[in-house]
Amino acid sequence: MEKNKRTKIKYVCDDCGAESPKWLGRCPMCGAWNSMKEFRTLPDPAARFTGGMEPSPPSVPVLLHDIDAGKEPRWKLSMPEVDRPLGGGIVPGSVILWGGEPGIGKSTLVLQICGAVSRTGRSVLYISGEESEFQIKMRANRLGMDEEKCFILSSPDLSSAEEQIASLRPGLVVIDSIQTMYLSGLDSPPGSPAQIRECTHHLVRIAKQTGTAVMIIGHVTKEGNLAGPRMLEHMVDVVLYLEGDRSYQFRILRTVKNRFGSTAETGLFMMDEKGLKEMENPSAFLLRDREIRSSPGNVIFSCMEGQRPVLAEIQALTVHSAFAVPRRIAVGYDYNRMIILLAVLEKKTGLSFSDHDVYINVVSGFRITETAADLAAAMSMVSIQMNRGLPSGTVVMGEVGLTGEILPLNHVERRMKEAYKMGFSHFVLPASNEEDSRRFTAAHPEDTTVSLISHIGEAVDSLRSGNS
Ligand code: TYD
Ligand code: MG
């Protein structure tokens, strides 16, 4: 690589990516000692990479009023669970970051997207620093892909890959993963914040200059968030996270940032032996197509996943504790929230859990983060503690305040509709949502019943007396 006269030296923290013009013994951002590494910034990447295009003319300011707000061109992929989180499809020239834990299915999903893009008539270049061409072919075979316009480049060297991008001019470039790529002009090893950042700078420039869409895959580990894709979020246009529990099939694609659309959308998938399948009826999957039963400890909640209601089953178990400090374990549910709910129940309803271990679990690997699930989680613990099931076909919704009052929730009608569609007809709702529930029951008068409650004590009492 030719060395440019203007090559600058700067110091970058290996832990958090903070920059400084001088060497420092301690990083001013994260406080790590001896983490500042020297590295040379490459000559202006804009000058290096032109992708065979004319340099763009100098920019001049334009009046906001005069800017043509015509619709952004988008490539629709005919994969609704991907198109929606992307805001309606891929915007040419955009940079999309795919984050997620190793092994969650990022390479699988992005390869499926490559297939979908090439079916729209655009060429794709999939650059992998992790897998050989053979391995990628094996995966493509498993996914049933046979696309002609999908080029594979197995190389972690981004500098040489840039030349291939310039000569191939693909519609979409995929980088799998950013942690394995390197620019040969930098002293830092692949995966270091300096390499990750500089590689991303190059890729962003390629996207903006050529109109090629770029997808960057980045592994996020629970501990190493900082040195991973999180520090790239501000540089890219769209950030998507693929989440789930590897021991289950359920996967959620969440939009964390989107310069071209809403971040309220999510995509739902199921991982099987032929890749990630889009989910048409997530409620049926999460309820595992079982008949609606009511055993003590089981409560159904209608959860908003993005803009879509999904039914989830919360299970609780309480057993006499053999420990001095009883155990509390939450899977798929927030541990701290569970502790708060137990405290409210003890204080406001007189139920005691202090000599019991309490376990709470959301079925099928789903994760509930909404506070609207408070009442359902609380009732699952109360129900098992009393050994009384809720009436069959019941859905419980509402947030529980520290005083024990039941706070209102949003999207009530949508949640009720989804539950009704799945065969549930009895609803336990916050009294403050009476209006919404009346609108719903007006349309389904014969077979729906609603219990409106304003305090957790009412829910516990009605379960005690057997008419929840
Ligand atoms: P992968 O896409 O390699 O994960 P990531 O790129 O996020 O690290 O997916 C890894 C897991 O997915 C692997 O354990 C096997 C599983 N898998 C399937 O279950 N079905 C499939 O069709 C494929 C390709 C992978
Ligand atoms: Mg991978």
Q: Which residues contact 206 (CB under 8 A, 6 or more apart)?
A: 49, 51, 162, 165, 173, 212, 214
CATH number of 75-280: 3.40.50.300
Please give the number of the atom of ligand 1 that sits closest to the Cα of 142.
Answer: 22
Q: What is the pLDDT along the chain (468 residues), one digit of tens a residue?
A: 444 445 677 887 777 778 888 888 888 888 888 888 777 765 554 444 444 445 556 778 888 888 776 666 889 998 999 999 998 999 999 999 999 988 999 999 999 999 999 998 999 999 999 999 999 999 999 998 887 789 999 999 999 999 999 999 999 999 998 999 999 888 888 888 888 989 999 999 999 999 999 999 998 876 645 456 677 888 999 999 998 888 888 999 999 899 988 888 889 999 999 999 998 888 888 887 555 567 899 999 999 988 889 999 999 999 999 888 999 999 999 999 999 999 999 999 989 999 999 999 998 888 999 999 999 999 999 999 999 999 988 999 999 999 999 999 999 999 999 999 888 999 999 999 999 999 988 887 778 899 999 999 999 999 988 755
**Element holding 347 (H helix, E strand):** helix 335-349
Q: Which of 101, 108, 142 to mutate to test the pocket of ligand 1 (most atoms within 8 A of CB)?
A: 108
One-letter amino acid of 387? N
CATH number of 285-465: 3.30.230.10
13 - beta bridge partners? 36
d(CA 452, CA 429): 5
With beta carbons less than 8 A apart as the criterion, state whether 100 and 242 touch.
yes
| Residue carrying the six token digits 């309803």 | 349
- Residue 387's region, left for phi above 0, alpha for psi from -120 to 50, else beta, is left
Does residue 105 line the site of ligand 1, with CB under 6 A?
yes
Helix, strand, coil percentages in the chain from 3-state DSSP, rounded to 5: 30, 25, 45
CA distances from 404 to 81, 152, 246, 261, 340 (A): 38, 58, 36, 38, 11
pTM for the whole thing? 0.80
What residue owns the CA closest to ligand 1's atom 16?
A: 105
Neighbours of 273 (CB within 10 A): 6
Q: Cα(18) to centroid of ligand 1, in Å?
A: 33
Domain locations in the chain?
2-42, 75-280, 285-465
Q: Cα(130) to centroid of ligand 2, in Å?
A: 7
Q: What is the DSSP letter of 231?
A: G
CA distances from 430 to 89, 138, 374 (A): 38, 53, 11
